[in-house]
Structure 1
Amino acid sequence: MTEKKLLLGADTDYPASYSPQLLHPIPRQEGRQALGILGAEPFFGVDLWTAYELSWLDMRGKPVVAVAELSIPGSTLNLVESKSLKLYLNSLNQERYRSVEEVARTIERDVSACVVGPILVGIHPGDSYRHMGLGSLPGICLDDLPVEVDAYAPDPSLLGLADGHTVVSESLYSHLLKTNCPVTGQPDWASILIRYSGPAIDREGLLRYLVSFRNHQDFHEQCVERIFTEIRELCQPDTLEVYARYTRRGGLEINPYRSSVQSDPPRVRLSRQ
């Protein structure tokens, strides 16, 4: 199993110099096989990472601090293990670079090699990240629905269609998603957006289904792909988007997005981020 080789949960020293070899790939197909995805993926998507603890030295030796945004397509062969990315980014701390662009190119090159596919990196030094003010997910929040909940392991049987066979286009979201790291067991908290068109999904059942992930252990990306796959199979919407905005851990947040059509997720920073 790949997890046995991971840096997650292991005592590790922070690198003193540039160390791209720290980046650890996790084959995406390992999680997708469990979902019955054996060929082409039934979705488009991207994993949006935000790294809040990026720093390096300019050519005079003065530190620069910045926030980095990494866009890793869901079509890459691998995802990157989060602690290995954290340690890799910290290995830049004592390195000198001529420009922000040089740092971005370095990260793009190294992470692209790890995931086996092209990625994009944007870097926002100093106060330039202030343009990402707090926002909210679009649509209707499910969290005030008066549901009874007794399932805390993923239960797709909770999903179903609303009565009346109404066809809708709507955006529904919840702040109640919690999953757990498959290696350390630490909790991962997220807000999740379900945007779809087609037969109306039963909202109470959808909320209970999302809550049922509360004790589930898996990587962020694989949780979102499972939710996408199970909603698609059981509710059969014409179009479907699933987008989770996870809170940061270790200075990193991972926000996976999967869609049945090629589109971009809302670029929004939530209050817990």
Structure 2
Amino acid sequence: MNTPDQSLLGKPAPYRDQYDPSLLYPIPRADKRRELGIAAQPPFFGADLWTAYELSWLTPRGKPVVAIAHVTVPCETPNIVESKSFKLYLNSFTNSRFASTDEVLARLRADIAEAVWRGAPAAAGIGVRLVPSELFDREQVHELDGMNLDRLDIECSHYTPEPSLLTAAVGEQPVEEVLVSNLLKSNCLVTGQPDWGSVQVRYAGPQIDQGGLLRYLVSLRNHNEFHEQCVERIFMDIRRQCRPTRLAVYARYTRRGGLDINPFRTSHPLALPPNIRTARQ
């Protein structure tokens, strides 16, 4: 079984510029989900939305091509891909010649799908979309919609996860709200380096205390976990503490190594948010 400490994360790694799908390093989701009390069937749907800004390859005549890749990995996959391995894999395209953009797209889809579905009884697909350089100016920048919690003048004293900060007005008239914060920060599980992000909480049910929610999000500040795991932790803590009838949690993390990772989890069937970057990304 692959574990984070066995990956190349935080270790010197040679730069390989010839196509090599073996560089992808899948890590099972199951261990962290068990830690969160998530059984074999998670209580959510969703996906991890990746954006790769450093992708290039050569045409048959040796001319470089650049593109942005949008990758959608369903949360039902048994594995995530460790981000440094994903960057090394993308770098391996750099001096490799491909017949067409369609061939590059097909390789990306097949390789990433094999890694994230490895160990599953039956593999399914993933989503990959390439944006060519002539369409770069169509890429949008937009902040997460919702009421900004950061307006609150609160005192914070917890910097490791504290679910007890979450409370809701159980027994009162239910509400529907979308709440956002740009104060999300956690650390890489392996290197301890900071990961900065924004988070959106969309819910229906007992009204969540906004100050408590903001304090809870701040409490992740010194916590070491991968992006996908942090979002699932936020989802499960809100679900247990506040008992919403519907809940969706979406986080957009700033890029590192030319990649941003943006997990989305929802309690009910809901369209995936468009993979549009925020100003900090």
Is the contact made by 1:15 and 1:91 (CA closer than 8 Å) also made in structure 2? yes
List aligned pairs for 1:124-203, cutoff 5 A: 124-162=131-169, 165-203=172-210
Q: Which residue of structure 1 lines up, in the alignment, with residue 121 of structure 2?
A: none
SS in 1 for 2:196: strand
Q: Which residue of structure 1 lines up, in the alignment, with residue 83 of structure 2?
A: 82
Amino acid at match of 2:186: T
Deviations 1:169-222 (A, max 9, x none): 110000000000010010000000000111110000000000000000000000
Cα distance in 1 for residues equivalent to 2:203 and 2:233: 16
**What CA RMSD, in Å, does the superposition of the two structures yield over aligned residues?**
1.2
Report sequence identity in percent: 53
Q: Which residue of structure 2 lines up, in the alignment, with residue 51 of structure 1?
A: 52
List aligned pairs for 1:218-233, cutoff 5 A: 218-233=225-240
Amino acid at match of 1:62: K
Cα distance in 2 for residues equivalent to 1:149 and 1:120: 39
Q: CA 1:5 to 1:194, structure 2 compared with 1: closer, same or farther past 3 Å? A: same
In structure 1, list runs of 5 or more residues that go unmatched.
none
Cα distance in 2 for residues equivalent to 1:20 and 1:254: 20
Cα distance in 1 for residues equivalent to 2:271 and 2:58: 34
Q: Which residue of structure 2 lines up, in the alignment, with residue 249 of structure 1?
A: 256
Residue 12 of structure 1, CA deviation? 0.3
Residue 13 in 1 paired to residue 14 in 2?
yes
Residue 95 of structure 1, CA deviation? 1.1
Cα distance in 1 for residues equivalent to 2:174 and 2:139: 35
Is the contact made by 2:142 and 2:279 (CA closer than 8 Å) also made in structure 1? yes
TM-score of the two chains, using structure 2 as the length reference: 0.94
Residue 163 of structure 1, CA deviation? 8.0
Cα distance in 1 for residues equivalent to 2:85 and 2:202: 32
**Over 6 Å off, 4+ runs:** none
In structure 2, list runs of 5 or more residues that go unmatched.
118-123
Residue 165 of structure 1, CA deviation? 1.7
Deviations 1:28-47 (A, max 9, x none): 10110101112201000100
Cα distance in 2 for residues equivalent to 1:77 and 1:163: 35
Amino acid at match of 1:26: I
Which of residues 257, 277, 280 is equivalent to 1:269?
A: 277
TM-score of the two chains, using structure 1 as the length reference: 0.97
Is the contact made by 1:162 and 1:202 (CA closer than 8 Å) also made in structure 2? yes
Residue 265 of structure 1, CA deviation? 3.4
Residue 139 of structure 1, CA deviation? 1.2
Residue 17 of structure 1, CA deviation? 1.1
Is the contact made by 2:17 and 2:96 (CA closer than 8 Å) also made in structure 1? no
Is the contact made by 2:171 and 2:206 (CA closer than 8 Å) also made in structure 1? no
